[in-house]
A and B are shown apart, each in its own frame.
Chain A
Amino acid sequence: MTLYRQGKVPGSFYDGYGQEAVSAGATWAMAPEDRLCILHRDLAAHLIRGVPPARIFAQYMGRDGGVTGGREGNVHFGDRNLGCVGMVSMLPDMMLVAAGMAMAFKLRDETRCAITWFGDGSTSRGDFHEAMNWAGVQKLPVIFVLENNQYAYSTPTAGQFAVNPVERAAAYGFPGVTVDGNDAEAMFEATRVARERAIAGDGPTLLEAVTMRMHGHAAHDDMKYVPSELVEKWRAKDPIDLQVRRAETLDVDVEALRAEIKAEIEAGVEEALAMAMPDGDTATDRLFADEEALLSDGNGPWSGFAHASGEGA
C-alpha cells in the first residue's frame, strides 16, 4: 500500500487483508502435482507454492521481473512453473478452468486434484452454475472455495443471493461445507478432507470460507458502505492474531518470526525496485505460442502427503 501511495504501483491495488487464512490453509493441503487457480485476495497461495516476494512486488509494480513481466497487474498472475494459473477479472471463470484440469486428470487416470477460489458475488454468474453442474455430473476431482467475504465490491450478500450458495451444492450432487475462513487450520483440514474425497474419485466439494474483506474492494475504496460495527466485530477475529496465539502456546518466538518476515519483505521490495520496467518495443511480442508451454509442479510443503496417501513416511 505504501508503494502504491508512492506511485510505484500503477493502476489500482487489491489485497486480501483479513482473509489471509483462506488461501494459506487451503494451499497447505495441496500436493506439488495439484493445480491452483488463484483469486486476487489469495496472495498466500502464491507464496506457499514458491513465488519469491521480489517477483510479487515486481508484479505489482509492472516490472520486467514480475511474474507476468508487466503483461498483467496486481494479483492477476499465476506462475505456471508452480502449477498455478492466474485469474481473469470475469469471476468465477476459473471454476470452469479448474474443472477442466480435473477433467484431464480423470481422463488420464491420475491421482491429482485442482482447486480454485472465487467470491460471494461471483456465485450470481452463470459460470458458477455451469462449473458446479459440470463437476457434479462428471464427478471431477476439484475443490471449489467460495470466499464469502460479505461484500462484492459494495454489494452485501443480502443483495447477491436469497439462498446461501453453499446450500446449492446439494442440488449439484456433492457436499457444501461451511468453514471458518479466518482459521487457517480449519481451512487446512476442510481442504485436506475435500482433497481426499477428490482423489478417491468421489467428486467435488464446495467449501464456503466465511471471512471478511477488511479493506475496500481496491485502494480507492474507503468502504464507507460497511457498518463500522461489522468491521470491528471481524477485527476481533483476525486470522493472523489467531495463528499468533496458537504459535505462542507452542513456544514459537513470534517476534523473531515477524522480524524475519519483515526483513524478507524489505529485501524483496529493494530487489523489485532495482528491476527494469519492460521495454515498450516488446508489447506486441509473444501473442502466439510457437510451441507448447504448460504447467509444472509447485511446492506442497505439508509433510503429511506421503502418510496420507498410505505410502509411509
Chain B
Amino acid sequence: MPTMTYLQAISDAMREEMRADERVFVMGEDIGAFGGAFKVTDGFLDEFGASRVMDTPLAESGIVGTAVGAAVEGMRPICEMQFSDFISCGFDQLVNVAAKMYYRQGLSVNITVRLPSGGGFSGGPYHSQNPEAWFMHSPGLKVVAPSTAQDAKGLLIKAIRDPNPVVFMEHKHLYRRVKGDVTAGSYETPFTARLAREGEDLTVIAYGAMVHAAMEATEDLGGASVEVLDLRSLVPLDEEAILASVRKTSKVVIVDEANMTCAAGAQVAALIAERGWEDLDGPVVRVATPDVPIPFSPTLEQAVLPQVDDIKEACRELLAY
C-alpha cells in the first residue's frame, strides 16, 4: 500500500477518476500550467490536456454555474475554489441553482466542489475560513470533510460518482502535514463517521484537522479511555454513530475549527440533546473558534483557533464532572 500525503491522495483520487471516466474533468483558477495554488493538479495538464484541466476566468460564480450546465448535460465536473473563502462569490449558483435543481425539477447535478479550507498558518480573514455550515443549511448539498489521506481519496472518489452536488472540504493545514497508507487504485469511502479511536470514558467528536488535534489532546489524559469519532461527512450526518458513542461513554466534547454559532458541532449537540439526553452523564461541551474573523498574526490566530491544550482542558473538566 503506497504512502501518500493528504494532498497526494486528493490528486490521486481525481487522476483515477479522470483515467477511468471521460465525463470527469477539473476546472478552476490557475489549475493548468501552474498546477493550482496548492499544486493539487500538478502534472494534470500534461496527462489530460487543456480541455479536461480547464483554466477558467477568475469567476467563482462562473465556475459553479457552468459546472451545473455541464453536469445536467452528463459531464462530471470537479470545481476547485482556490480557497474555500472564495466560494462566497459562487454561493448563489451553489445554493440556489445546484442544490435545489433535483428537488425542483428532478434534474440531477453531479458536481464536486473542492474547498481548500481552514487556518493555522497566518492566512488571515480571507484564506482561513471553514464555511461548511453555510452548506449544511442549504438542503440539496452533501458536505464531506476528510481528516486522513485514505479518507481524502475515498471520499473524493465517492463524491465524484455521487449524482448530487457534493461540497468537499479539504483542510489546507493537512495537505502536507498528514501522511498515511492509501489503498492503490479506486475505492469509495462511505459518507459515514469513522471511529478514530475506541474508548470508554468520554467521546470527542470532530472532523477535518480537528480530528488530529483531538487525537493528540486525548493520547494521555491521566489514563482516561477516550473515544474519538471522526464525522467525515456532515451531510448526511451519521446520527447513529454519534448516538451509539454517546450511549457508550455518556460524556461528549465536540470540536469545531469553524466559528461557534450554528457550526456543524452545534447540530451534533442539538442531536444529542434531542435523542441522547438519557445517555448523558454531564453537559455537552463544545470547543470551537469564537465568533470572530480569523486574524492574521500568529498570536491572535492561535488565540482563536482551538488548540490541543483547549481540547485537553475541556476533556479534563468533563471527565471530572
Q: Which residues of A contact B (CB under 8 A)?
A: 35, 67-68, 71-72, 76-78, 80, 85-86, 88-90, 93-105, 107, 114, 126-127, 130-131, 133-134, 137, 286-295
Residues of B within 8 A of A107 (CB): 25, 51-52, 70, 75
Given contacts A86-B105, A97-B66, A101-B73, 15 further A-B pairs with CB under 8 A are A71-B104, A78-B107, A85-B72, A85-B107, A94-B97, A95-B65, A97-B68, A100-B68, A104-B70, A104-B73, A104-B74, A104-B75, A127-B93, A288-B140, A294-B108
B84 at the interface (CB under 8 A from A): no
Structural contact, B106 and A100, CB atoms closer than 8 A: no
A-B pairs, 8 with minimum CB distance: A100-B69, A96-B65, A100-B66, A104-B73, A289-B108, A130-B62, A97-B69, A101-B69
Q: Mark B100-113, 1 if CB is under 8 A from A, else 0.
A: 11111111101000
Q: Mark B62-102, 1 if CB is under 8 A from A, else 0.
A: 10111111111111000000000000000011001100111
State whether A96 and B163 are in contact (beta carbons under 8 Å apart), knowing that A72-B104, A289-B108 are contacts in the complex: no
Structural contact, A289 and B74, CB atoms closer than 8 A: no
Structural contact, B108 and A85, CB atoms closer than 8 A: no
Structural contact, B69 and A288, CB atoms closer than 8 A: no
Quote the shortest CB–CB distance from A292 to chain B (angstroms).
5
Tell me, in angstroms, the Cα distance from A266 to B140 when the chains sit together.
Answer: 37
Residues of B within 8 A of A286 (CB): 102-103, 106
Residues of A within 8 A of B108 (CB): 289, 291-294
Residues of A within 8 A of B59 (CB): 130, 133-134
Within 8 Å by CB of A99, from B25, B66, B110, lies: B66
Quote the shortest CB–CB distance from A127 to chain B (angstroms).
6
Structural contact, A293 and B73, CB atoms closer than 8 A: no
Q: Mark B31-69, 1 if CB is under 8 A from A, else 0.
A: 000000000000000000001100011010110111111
Number of A-B residue pairs at CB separation under 8 A: 143
Quote the shortest CB–CB distance from A109 to chain B (angstroms).
10
Name which residue of chain B comes closest to A116, CB basis. B69
A-B contact pairs, 6 of them (CB 8 A): A80-B106, A85-B105, A99-B69, A127-B62, A137-B57, A293-B102
Structural contact, B105 and A88, CB atoms closer than 8 A: no
B147 at the interface (CB under 8 A from A): no
Quote the shortest CB–CB distance from B192 to chain A (angstroms).
15
Name which residue of chain B comes closest to A93, CB basis. B97
B139 at the interface (CB under 8 A from A): yes
Residues of A within 8 A of B65 (CB): 93, 95-97, 99-100, 127, 130-131
Residues of B within 8 A of A71 (CB): 103-105
Structural contact, A96 and B73, CB atoms closer than 8 A: no
Tell me, in angstroms, the Cα distance from A146 to B67 when the chains sit together.
Answer: 22
Name which residue of chain B comes closest to A294, CB basis. B74
Question: Which one of B51, B56, B101, B107 has the greatest number of beta carbons of chain A within 10 Å?
Answer: B107
B142 at the interface (CB under 8 A from A): yes
B128 at the interface (CB under 8 A from A): no
Quote the shortest CB–CB distance from A64 to chain B (angstroms).
13
Quote the shortest CB–CB distance from A91 to chain B (angstroms).
11
Name which residue of chain A comes closest to B101, CB basis. A85
Residues of B within 8 A of A90 (CB): 92, 96
Within 8 Å by CB of A88, from B70, B96, B110, lies: B96
Residues of B within 8 A of A103 (CB): 66, 69-70
Question: Which one of A68, A72, A288 has the greatest number of beta carbons of chain B within 10 Å?
Answer: A288
Tell me, in angstroms, the Cα distance from A131 to B102 when the chains sit together.
Answer: 23
Question: Which one of B67, B70, B92 has the greatest number of beta carbons of chain A within 10 Å?
Answer: B70
Structural contact, B62 and A293, CB atoms closer than 8 A: no
Structural contact, B72 and A101, CB atoms closer than 8 A: yes
